[in-house]
Chain A
């Protein structure tokens, strides 16, 4: 717009005041009406003021340059140089502030890029951590399952029952063996008593035989006595017979003594055998009773201990199973808790996208400040863009947060968490 101020003529001072006022008012309305901008207020306000002042300043600085040689009438030369004019100096300072604001906006661009990078880093960290947690949980679950399987195989109820059955069979076999041994012992005792009776009968028979021998000896003695009498009666003729009778008598006496010795020997032998057998049988019975007692006690204690052991093992197995089931439940719950990362991921992703929008708008603002003449910015475009993000949300909590930030009250009717169609 060359010679624009010249064409305005007397209206130019009025335009110089009206133009920034209108621009500031318009931009102020746009900015302050955007309740959702939050921290962007000072930036947008500064930008708006700067744009308005810059629009005012540029024509003034370039006023002479815009006047072409063919234009008429020529402007009267100012009394003061532009640099010395207070208004121009003020406007130059304002323009410098606009440049400073543009530089600051570059800093905000850095901030939004930094924000996105940090968000992506957080997403990566939480994802890696979640995967690591799930991996460890799977390992713990696998180890727990292996341990439980091992314990079940070594101490299952079926195994315990089999042990009990085998133990019962062994106990029954032991009892049968003991009973058979006792019966055998009874038979042995009966046989021993029978043998003793046979010995007593044999000894008694031998005693009778000894008595018979003694009776024969007495009769022989009587015979020898009669023979002696008859030999005495025969006189000299019977002298030889008397000698025979005497020898017979001696033999009878000797036979009687021998028979008596035999009888005594047999009695002694009977006593000795009886005593010996009694001692052997008695000692054997006592010893066997003691052994049986110890054996029975040992078997009883063994059975009792085995039962205690089996019961203990069964309790341990039950406790381990219960504990393992509780651990499995906890592991599954923990696995589900890690799903928070997916939700966090989506929320942070949405934040990152919003940051990109802010970054893009900042770039637009910087371009406006860099080229105040030709670059224009649609009023309220960023606010509309921000409002449009509502449709991109995937969670009720995101929509609720958006509504709260924009000052709107939106009541969303959420369906049930689980629904079968």
Chain B
């Protein structure tokens, strides 16, 4: 069985490398994008990842706008999307939920916090 693929979207190189290291060690294949626009291009080009984990505050397009755009793409309506951010405000969570996010994680996130959630939202992982 081929490894499940996770698309990471964050403007922090440190976050991308940290999450890539954790997920790769857990057996996932990882794709990385430094901003929302490049992530959209990756999704349009395919193949479809099994999960997207995105930051909230990034450059011109933020994570919530990215989720809204992704949900409009064909075949991406039900792809799980986790928001991983330093933000902990409830109204932002509600906004993310309304835009189509699957879940919310507050940085920093440890392996024993991240991996169970990823396993939970990615069937068969």
Chain A: minimal CB distance from B84 (Å) = 10
For B18, B93, B105, which residue has the most chain A Cβ atoms within 10 angstroms?
Answer: B18
Q: Quick check: which of A191-199, A240-248, A339-347, A351-359 contacts chain B, the rest being far away?
A: A339-347
Indicate with 1 or 0, residue by residue over B101-125, a CB within 8 angstroms of chain A CB atoms. 1111111111101100100110000
B8 on interface, CB distance cutoff 8 Å: no
For B14, B56, B87, which residue has the most chain A Cβ atoms within 10 angstroms?
Answer: B14
Residues of B within 8 A of A346 (CB): 57, 86
A421 on interface, CB distance cutoff 8 Å: yes
Contact of B108 among A131, A340, A396, A414 (CB under 8 A): A340
Report whether A342 and B12 are in contact in the complex, using a CB–CB cutoff of 8 Å: yes
Residues of A within 8 A of B103 (CB): 418-421
Report whether B108 and A339 are in contact in the complex, using a CB–CB cutoff of 8 Å: yes
Q: How many A-B residue pairs have CB under 8 A?
A: 115
B42 on interface, CB distance cutoff 8 Å: no
Report whether B102 and A417 are in contact in the complex, using a CB–CB cutoff of 8 Å: no
- A421's nearest neighbour on chain B, judged by CB, is B97
Interface residues of B (CB under 8 A from A): 10, 12-15, 17-18, 21-22, 25-26, 56-57, 85-90, 93, 96-97, 101-111, 113-114, 117, 120-121
For A328, A335, A340, A341, which residue has the most chain B Cβ atoms within 10 angstroms?
Answer: A335
Indicate with 1 or 0, residue by residue over A7-41, a CB within 8 angstroms of chain B CB atoms. 00000000000000000000000000000000000
Smallest CB-CB A-B distances: 8 pairs: A339-B108, A335-B21, A420-B103, A134-B17, A130-B14, A332-B111, A342-B12, A341-B14
> Considering the chains assembled together, what is the distance between the CA atoms of A346 and B15 in angstroms?
12
- Give the residues from 193 to 237 in chain A that come closer than 8 angstroms, CB to CB, to chain B: none
A338 on interface, CB distance cutoff 8 Å: yes
- A129's nearest neighbour on chain B, judged by CB, is B14
- Starting from the known contacts A336-B110, A412-B88, A414-B90, 4 additional A-B residue pairs (CB-CB under 8 Å) come to A134-B17, A339-B108, A342-B12, A346-B57
Chain B: minimal CB distance from A14 (Å) = 55
Report whether A134 and B21 are in contact in the complex, using a CB–CB cutoff of 8 Å: yes
Interface residues of A, CB < 8 Å — how many? Answer: 36
Report whether B87 and A343 are in contact in the complex, using a CB–CB cutoff of 8 Å: no
Report whether B86 and A420 are in contact in the complex, using a CB–CB cutoff of 8 Å: no
A70 on interface, CB distance cutoff 8 Å: no
Report whether B102 and A421 are in contact in the complex, using a CB–CB cutoff of 8 Å: yes
The answer to whether residues A343 and B21 also contact, given A415-B93, A418-B113 and a CB cut-off of 8 A, is no
Report whether B120 and A342 are in contact in the complex, using a CB–CB cutoff of 8 Å: no
Residues of A within 8 A of B13 (CB): 127, 131
Report whether B57 and A131 are in contact in the complex, using a CB–CB cutoff of 8 Å: no
A-B contact pairs, 28 of them (CB 8 A): A127-B12, A130-B17, A134-B17, A134-B18, A332-B22, A332-B26, A332-B111, A335-B111, A336-B111, A336-B114, A339-B15, A341-B14, A342-B14, A343-B107, A345-B14, A394-B56, A394-B57, A396-B88, A396-B89, A413-B90, A414-B88, A415-B104, A418-B104, A418-B109, A418-B113, A419-B104, A420-B120, A421-B96
A384 on interface, CB distance cutoff 8 Å: no
Residues of A within 8 A of B14 (CB): 127, 130-131, 134, 338-339, 341-342, 345
For A135, A342, A346, A417, which residue has the most chain B Cβ atoms within 10 angstroms?
Answer: A342
- A134's nearest neighbour on chain B, judged by CB, is B17
- B106's nearest neighbour on chain A, judged by CB, is A417
Report whether A343 and B86 are in contact in the complex, using a CB–CB cutoff of 8 Å: yes
Contact of B22 among A127, A335, A343, A414 (CB under 8 A): A335
Residues of B within 8 A of A296 (CB): none
> Considering the chains assembled together, what is the distance between the CA atoms of A104 and B41 in angstroms?
51
Contact of B88 among A340, A345, A415 (CB under 8 A): A415
The answer to whether residues A343 and B102 also contact, given A134-B21, A394-B87, A396-B88 and a CB cut-off of 8 A, is no
- Give the residues from 401 to 417 in chain A that come closer than 8 angstroms, CB to CB, to chain B: 412-415, 417
Residues of B within 8 A of A418 (CB): 103-106, 109, 113, 117
Residues of A within 8 A of B15 (CB): 339, 342
> Considering the chains assembled together, what is the distance between the CA atoms of A414 and B91 in angstroms?
10
A331 on interface, CB distance cutoff 8 Å: yes
Residues of A within 8 A of B109 (CB): 336, 339, 418
A1 on interface, CB distance cutoff 8 Å: no
